[in-house]
A and B are shown apart, each in its own frame.
Chain A
Amino acid sequence: KAGVTQTPRYLIKTRGQQVTLSCSPISGHRSVSWYQQTPGQGLQFLFEYFSETQRNKGNFPGRFSGRQFSNSRSEMNVSTLELGDSALYLCASSFRTNTGELFFGEGSRLTVL
């Protein structure tokens, strides 16, 4: 069974631009969560989607948004990029939304110049 796939793996943007990251969950998994990982703040929860509905949201500004499609694939978008948005963005999927047993992708490393 294929794991969680995130694209792109690496990308470089400049301040003010926007970026869209994609995540394909493990087949059959309906819950997708997103996390931001930085050296300073560590791992922080962004949001979680289940059956195309956002179920939980972390403490991030409105510039961070996401969505989930009917096939469970998910995208997250960051608008008006700031230098501090440079991070590894991790997507995780799970079969249900109430287990905490998450399967992570390898992440998308975003560098904002």
Chain B
Amino acid sequence: AQSVTQLGSHVSVSEGALVLLRCNYSSSVPPYLFWYVQYPNQGLQLLLKYTSAATLVKGINGFEAEFKKSETSFHLTKPSAHMSDAAEYFCAVSGGSGTASKLTFGTGTRLQVTL
């Protein structure tokens, strides 16, 4: 079984500051890991994914995440926050091929960006 834990349900940063959203995973098989973003009253949008290729994954809108097997982590970062980054972010894990569409999501982290 797979699971993810997102540390911090709310994160507040100033515009231009570093964004760090934490995610730790648990998986009995090599995991596929994802970060999705949800803006108010919208569905989810894929930011980036890790599928056992490069451990540093670059996504859209300047976000990136690093897969660290030793720490079972997949934290999301962005060097400089923009007001438009305010949204809810979800980390997700799947069991890989065959069940890759059966995502297990974390509880989400709401990112607030202040002036």
Contact = CB atoms under 8 A, between A and B. Distances in A.
Contact of A106 (B43, B90, B94, B101): B43
A56 B42 contact: no
B98 A45 contact: no
A90 B94 contact: no
Interface residues of A, number: 26
Interface in A20-46: 31, 33, 35, 42-45
B101 A104 contact: no
Chain A interface SS verdict (over half): strand
B107 interface: yes
B51 A100 contact: yes
Nearest to A104: B43
B105 A31 contact: no
Given A43-B108, A104-B36, 9 more contacts: A43-B44, A56-B99, A90-B43, A99-B51, A100-B34, A100-B49, A100-B92, A101-B46, A102-B103
Ranked nearest first, the 4 interchain pairs of A and B with the lowest CB-CB distance are A104-B43, A100-B100, A43-B105, A104-B44
14 contacts: A33-B103, A35-B103, A42-B105, A43-B103, A43-B105, A43-B108, A45-B104, A97-B98, A99-B51, A99-B101, A100-B92, A100-B94, A100-B101, A102-B46
